[in-house]
Amino acid sequence: MKSVSIRRSPVAINAPNTARLLPIAALITAALLWGGSFSAMRLAVQAMNPWSVMWLRMTIALIVILPFAGRLKKYRYQKGDWRLLVLMVLFQPCLYFLLESYALKMTTSSQAGVISAFVPLIVAIGSWLVLAESLSKSALAGLFLSVVGVVGLSLAGDSSGTAASPLWGNALELCAMTCAAVNMLIVKRLCGRYNPWLLTAFQVAAGTLFFIPGLFILLRGESVSWTGPLVFSILFLGGLVTLGAFGLYNWAMSRIPASQAAVFINMVPVAAVALGWIMLGESLGVAQCIAAGGIIIGVALGQKNA
């Protein structure tokens, strides 16, 4: 009797690789969008009240996602989840965006970039303590290298920005980053039972309500010069960053450990510097290139924990 050889399907063999690559692609896209959002947000909060900026970007994101609401109904609610859902939207977008909006009015982008490097560190420790995620030596080395790279990238940049009150601005930015880290841990806990895009819709809806005083500020006649760059910045922040970047990040968090996903946040300053060099003709020195390379290597090392 002839033996029958069973040939494995190429799709089945490549499925794990595809399942791994898609979340990484989503995280890289989110990092690129966040990198481009920094200058847009700074332009917006300098031109109008931060509450108005946040209400506009949340409302735009809500308008974009509403037509797809019917597809996001699938979830497995468990008793007591409402507490986690409330904490999720409280930490982000409410407190996170409120704190960061005012921080960007008082500190420079380079100093804020240094502080943002603490997010992966907080998430990694929290994932180990709360979510029981393991941390390999390569993951810790990658995390350390990426943090050092972010600090080097920020210090190597030109200090042309003005800081009205750097001490208060940096303190607010640190509080904002802590809120972001806690939110990531909560999202990781919830995304096993909820569609990540549904969680994003919850965040957008809550943000629209929380920042509604911004609407009243606009209606009472806040003096705003609606230039082309300002309008583009608001649309970009609402449609692509608030909805796109956070949605992609939440989706990726449902596919890989939170500590590994958080490392990609350190690519945001790299994206900001690279986009500034490509699109705005900003300077890019050798030291910045070396620091950016260190961040990319650190992120790659962090993924070896999988």
User: How open is the CA angle 208-211-216, to the nearest 5 degrees?
Assistant: 110
pLDDT attached to residue 295: 66
pLDDT band at 153 (very low <50, low <70, confident <90, very high): low
| Cα maximum dimension of the chain | 88
Mean pLDDT for the stretch of residues 181-185: 90
What crossing angle do the helices spanning 166-190 and 81-89 adopt, rounded to 10°? 150
- Distance, in Å, from the CA atom of 13 to the CA atom of 20, rounded to the nearest integer, reads 13
Is the per-residue pLDDT at 6 higher than 60?
A: no
> Which of 115-119, 180-184, 244-248, 279-283 shows the lowest mean pLDDT across its residues?
279-283
Is the per-residue pLDDT at 206 higher than 90?
A: yes
- Threshold 0.85, pTM exceeds: no
pLDDT attached to residue 14: 43
- Comparing 194 with 101, which gets the higher pLDDT? 194
pLDDT band at 231 (very low <50, low <70, confident <90, very high): very high
Tell me the C-alpha to C-alpha distance, in Å, between residue 193 and each of 81, 129, 196, 256, 266. Answer: 10, 21, 9, 15, 28
pLDDT attached to residue 255: 87
> Which of 66-75, 98-107, 116-125 shows the lowest mean pLDDT across its residues?
116-125
- Comparing 19 with 63, which gets the higher pLDDT? 63
Is the per-residue pLDDT at 252 higher than 50?
A: yes
Domain boundaries, the chain: 22-305
pLDDT attached to residue 113: 62
Mean per-residue pLDDT over the chain, rounded: 78
- Comparing 206 with 275, which gets the higher pLDDT? 206
Is the per-residue pLDDT at 157 higher than 70?
A: no
pLDDT tens column, 53-96: 999 999 999 999 998 888 887 788 888 899 999 999 999 999 99
Q: Tokens 């799709």 correspond to what residue?
A: 11
pLDDT attached to residue 203: 94
Mean pLDDT for the stretch of residues 177-187: 89
Beta partners for 194?
75
